């Protein structure tokens, strides 16, 4: 048989597996190989190849290679738990981004001390370098095998599979067998570095109606250096946790009295308002008009939009005058009514309507996470209505606006284009036009992007932006979606050059995504040390003696008149204590006033990073801070005057 491997054609005997091929090819690839992709399908290195094929060898540099290693590590975890605590029942254990987990049903709770024991047992299994042997059974025999082993969760999973399907398992060593579709590493010894990181609760199959299981998280790498670097990054992420910093910096919090409904405090409102003011400014500059639609709208509207039938379990509903109403989970239907209020001409298009709209969704309690996942949030929605000929130009405009915003905050990002899914609605011609509009805009902008075939919304293709923060983590925020569903459902139209009614094309788009989530991302991205223009308190004036108090108040008044956010610290404390406290609060500038500075009309300036800029005249300092803040600079862009 002819195998194309690494872009070279080689001849091998039928039934040869990738391990044997790599042995014949030589080099370091066999040592680094974790799995193989045969004609696009990922499989074990030991699985025979039965005919001509294109073969890609997967290493840790490939996403599928990393998943294979970490998925195998999850099974090593399960084997170790069964060895130490035989009464434990196994649930599921997938690879996830940056790691893996396994869910267990055990009467006693796992403790940090247990994790140490489990890690030791995992090391023993890995050292043995047990082979991972795949085998399959008919469904009935598979059920018998798992039932005999007392694995009731596995039995339930098998029972949900088609009756005629062969069920695959992996045997590791002499005793451990687990239900799994694979792929796995050829043996456990390829896991060169791993760490169990945490314990959490998780409902079986994600349903609150089911039993709460214990989930053990971990991560795995092919070398210790990469793992240590990752674990150091995790520790840094814990320090930057927006929930922790939100409380420490008095920005926001989520309280027991309102799970999923965040409170914003004065400092948080300053940050939020600065973001909203910037949003309004750039949208005015880009030809958007701001609207506001009601939070509560009638059942008739949500039936027309399709939400009442397909999204009702996530909606909060109420009755008014004995009629059904719902608190909006999305702004889009209100935007449709705003467009529909009058008849438009093609000369009026494109029309760009933006809304900072507060929406409510009933998220499960187990999914709530600070500001990242809440039950009420403000989306920076915009709905753009246009003729088909205007699609590409409008997409380019939205992309440029989004790119400008992300660069301002120092984010890099990657772009994904998702195309028509199987359960789509609409005509083929319109889908082709919409997809070409998105793709044509990206190509014209020379933007590198990844195509996700069949991953678009049912109503249209979309572009997603995935931000990369200062710790290298990615966040899906902005999106551009072409919608061919709602304009049809709401019978939207415009009068064309021919005097006839035509259906407009609509774009949904968000840039921040939601104010709450974007604020959380910013807190973690900057570690709470915001650039001057975002900092709730931009400077703190602190006195050495009470003789400088009057000068401090005068300086504060002058700075506030110049539009700067400043506060004073006139307490009878040592100046070193005041400076350290201001640094802990991550205030960009500390302005120290003593007798000499008060007399000379200067102030000693220190940065939160510990840099001493020396004595600066008040007017020069104010002008410099105005310049830095007004430029929305990420760092100081002026020298000691």
Cis before residue 183, ω within 30 degrees of 0? yes
Question: Domain 539-630 belongs to what topology?
Answer: Rossmann fold (3.40.50)
What are the tokens at 275?
């973001």
- Residue 27: predicted pLDDT: 65
Three-state DSSP at 499 gives coil
* pLDDT computed for residue 376 by the predictor: 97
Q: Which of 56, 114, 380, 381 is catalytic?
A: 381
Among candidate residues 37, 352, 420, 462, the one labeled active-site is 462
Out of 70, 307, 361, 608, pick the active-site residue.
361
The fold of the 258-293+333-526 domain, in CATH, is BirA Bifunctional Protein; domain 2 (3.30.930)
Determine the distance from the C-alpha atom of residue 352 to the mean position of all C-alpha atoms in its chain, rounded to a whole number. Answer: 27
pTM assigned to the model: 0.81
Q: What percent of the chain has pLDDT over 70?
A: 99
Residues 371-406 pLDDT 10s: 999 999 999 999 999 998 999 999 999 999 999 999
Q: Is 283 a catalytic residue?
A: no
Q: What is the mean pLDDT of the chain?
A: 92
Q: What are phi and psi of 160, to 5 degrees?
A: -85, -5
Residues 6+ away with beta carbon under 8 Å from 57: 5, 6, 18, 22, 29, 33, 36
75 is catalytic: no
Residue 332 known to be catalytic: yes
Q: Is 508 designated active site? A: yes
Give residue-wise pLDDT tens across range 140-189.
Answer: 999 999 999 999 999 999 999 888 888 999 999 888 999 999 899 999 99
Where residue 546 falls (left for φ over 0; alpha for ψ -120 to 50; beta otherwise) is alpha
> SS3 sequence, 357-406?
EEEECCCCHHHCECCCECCEEEEEEEEEEECHHHHHHHHHHHHHHHHHHH
Q: Which of 47, 379, 481, 538 is catalytic?
A: 379
Nearest to 607 by CA among 626, 629, 592, 617: 592
- What architecture does CATH give domain 2-59? Roll (3.10)
State the catalytic residue, choosing from 508, 509, 525, 578.
Answer: 508
Cβ contact 525:516 at 8 Å: no
For 455-481, what is the mean pLDDT?
87
CA separation, residue 444 to residues 74, 284, 466 (Å)? 44, 25, 20
Dihedral, 534, 539, 540, 545 alpha carbons, nearest 10: 180
376 catalytic? Reply is: no
Where do we find the tokens 């290298």?
Answer: 472
- Please report, for the chain, the start and end positions of each structural domain, with discontinuous segments joined by +: 2-59, 66-239, 258-293+333-526, 295-327, 539-630
Task: Output 497 or 366, whichever has higher pLDDT.
Answer: 497
Q: Which CATH architecture has domain 66-239?
A: 2-Layer Sandwich (3.30)
């Amino acid at each position: 048989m002819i195998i194309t491997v690494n872009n070279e054609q080689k001849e091998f005997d039928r039934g040869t597996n990738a391990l044997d091929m790599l042995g014949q090819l030589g080099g370091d690839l066999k040592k680094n190989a974790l799995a193989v992709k045969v004609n696009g399908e990922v499989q074990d290195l030991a699985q025979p190849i039965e005919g001509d094929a294109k073969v890609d060898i997967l290493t840790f540099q490939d996403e599928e290679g990393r998943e294979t290693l970490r998925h195998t590590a999850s099974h090593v975890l399960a084997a170790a738990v069964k060895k130490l605590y035989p009464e434990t029942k196994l649930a599921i254990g997938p690879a996830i981004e940056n790691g893996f987990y396994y869910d267990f049903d055990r009467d006693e709770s796992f403790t940090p001390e247990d994790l140490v024991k489990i890690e030791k047992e995992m090391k023993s299994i890995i050292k043995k370098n047990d082979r991972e042997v795949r085998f399959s059974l008919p469904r009935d025999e598979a059920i018998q095998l798992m039932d005999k082993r007392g694995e009731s969760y596995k039995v339930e999973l098998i029972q949900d599979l088609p009756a005629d399907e062969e069920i695959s398992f992996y045997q590791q060593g002499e005793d451990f067998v687990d239900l799994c579709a694979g792929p796995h590493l050829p043996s456990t010894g390829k896991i060169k570095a791993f760490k169990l990181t945490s314990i959490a609760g998780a409902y079986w199959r994600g349903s609150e109606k089911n039993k709460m299981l214990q989930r053990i998280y971990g991560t795995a790498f092919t070398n210790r250096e990469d793992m240590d670097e990752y674990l150091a990054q995790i520790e840094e992420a814990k320090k930057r946790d927006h929930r922790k910093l939100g409380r420490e910096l008095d920005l926001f919090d989520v309280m027991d009295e309102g799970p999923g409904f965040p409170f914003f405090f004065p400092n948080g409102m300053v940050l939020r308002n600065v973001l909203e003011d910037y949003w309004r400014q750039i949208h005015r500059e880009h030809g958007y008009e701001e609207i506001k639609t009601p939070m509560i709208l009638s059942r008739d509207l949500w039936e027309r939009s399709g939400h009442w039938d397909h999204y009702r379990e996530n909606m909060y509903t109420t009755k008014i005058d004995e009629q059904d109403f719902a608190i909006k989970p999305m702004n889009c239907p209100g935007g449709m009514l705003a467009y529909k209020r009058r008849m438009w001409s093609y000369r009026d298009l494109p029309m760009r309507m933006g809304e900072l709209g507060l929406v409510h969704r009933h998220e499960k309690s187990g999914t709530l996470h600070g500001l990242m996942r809440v039950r009420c949030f403000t989306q920076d929605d915009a709905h753009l209505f246009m003729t088909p000929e205007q699609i590409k130009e409008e997409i380019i405009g939205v992309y440029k606006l989004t790119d400008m915003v992300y660069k301002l905050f120092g984010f890099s990002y990657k772009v994904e284009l998702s195309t028509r899914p199987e359960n789509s609605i609409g005509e083929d011609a319109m889908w082709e036009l919409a997809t070409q509009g998105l793709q044509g805009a990206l190509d014209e902008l020379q933007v590198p992007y990844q195509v996700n075939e069949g991953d678009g919304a049912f109503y249209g293709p979309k572009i997603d932006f995935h931000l990369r923060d200062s710790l290298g983590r990615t966040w899906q925020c902005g999106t551009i979606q072409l919608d061919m569903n709602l304009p049809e459902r709401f019978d939207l139209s415009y009068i064309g050059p021919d005097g006839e009614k035509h259906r407009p094309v609509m774009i949904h788009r968000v840039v921040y995504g939601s104010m709450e989530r974007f604020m959380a991302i910013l807190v973690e991205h900057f570690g709470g040390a915001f650039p001057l223009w975002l900092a709730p308190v931009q400077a703190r004036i602190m006195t050495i003696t009470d003789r400088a108090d009057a000068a401090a108040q005068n300086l504060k008044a002058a700075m506030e008149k110049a539009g700067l956010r400043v506060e004073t610290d006139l307490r009878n404390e040592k100046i070193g204590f005041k400076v350290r406290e201001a640094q802990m609060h991550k205030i960009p500038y500390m302005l120290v006033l003593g007798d000499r500075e008060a007399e000379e009309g200067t102030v000693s300036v220190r940065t939160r990073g510990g840099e001493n800029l020396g004595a600066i005249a008040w007017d020069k300092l104010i002008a410099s801070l105005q310049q830095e803040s007004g430029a929305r600079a990420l760092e100081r862009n002026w020298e000691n005057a």
